[in-house]
């Protein structure tokens, strides 16, 4: 059965591939549509990750700072998305911000999977990990 870490890693894999594809095909006609799909994916992921995964982690002393840091990184990603939206609206080149978005997302994923996941593995029971995964999947669907 899936646990919350498996669910989040699946999302992270999708996000990395969407970013890579978008950067590789930046000048294609589909670029803006692909960006909108990526933006929606990142926004939805962050919303439910914060509600379902980070919220309980904030209540533990061991994970509170890292969970808050993860939320702050989501805010940095949101700001970068706003910059891309402005560039697209004004028909300016948004490649710089797209690469910056990729850097922010990949940094966030790396920190989360290598640090926060390790701490959270020890804080949640197996049952809790599965329940969090079910909630995450249900709310994202």
Q: Distance between CA 58 and CA 19 in Å, rounded?
A: 29
With 0.85 as the threshold, say if the pTM is over it.
Answer: yes
> Domains plus CATH for the chain?
4-140 (1.20.120.520)
Q: What is the pLDDT of residue 30?
A: 81
What is each CA distance from 78 to 1, 2, 15, 62, 84, in whole angstroms? Answer: 32, 28, 14, 26, 10
Per-residue pLDDT of the chain (141 residues; tens, 9 = 90+): 689 999 999 999 999 999 999 999 888 778 999 999 999 999 999 999 999 999 999 999 999 999 999 999 999 999 999 999 999 888 888 999 999 999 999 999 999 999 999 999 999 999 999 999 999 999 988
SS3 state of residue 43: helix
Q: What is the pLDDT of residue 135?
A: 96
* Residue 92 DSSP one-character state: -
Q: Which residues have C-beta within 8 Å of that of residue 36, sequence separation ≥ 6?
A: none
3-state helix, strand, coil in the chain (%, to 5): 85, 0, 15
């Amino acid at each position: 059965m899936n646990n919350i870490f498996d669910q989040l890693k699946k999302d992270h894999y999708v996000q990395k591939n969407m970013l890579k594809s978008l950067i590789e095909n930046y000048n294609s006609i589909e670029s803006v549509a692909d960006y909108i799909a990526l933006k929606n994916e990142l926004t939805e992921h962050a919303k439910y990750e914060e509600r379902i995964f980070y919220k309980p982690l904030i209540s533990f002393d061991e994970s509170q700072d890292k969970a808050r840091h993860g939320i702050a990184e989501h805010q940095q990603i949101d700001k970068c998305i706003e910059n891309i939206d402005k560039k697209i609206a004004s028909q300016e080149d948004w490649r710089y911000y797209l690469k910056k978005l990729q850097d922010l997302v990949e940094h966030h994923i790396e920190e989360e999977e290598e640090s926060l996941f390790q701490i959270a593995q020890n804080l949640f029971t197996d049952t809790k990990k599965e329940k969090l995964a079910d909630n995450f999947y249900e709310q994202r669907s």
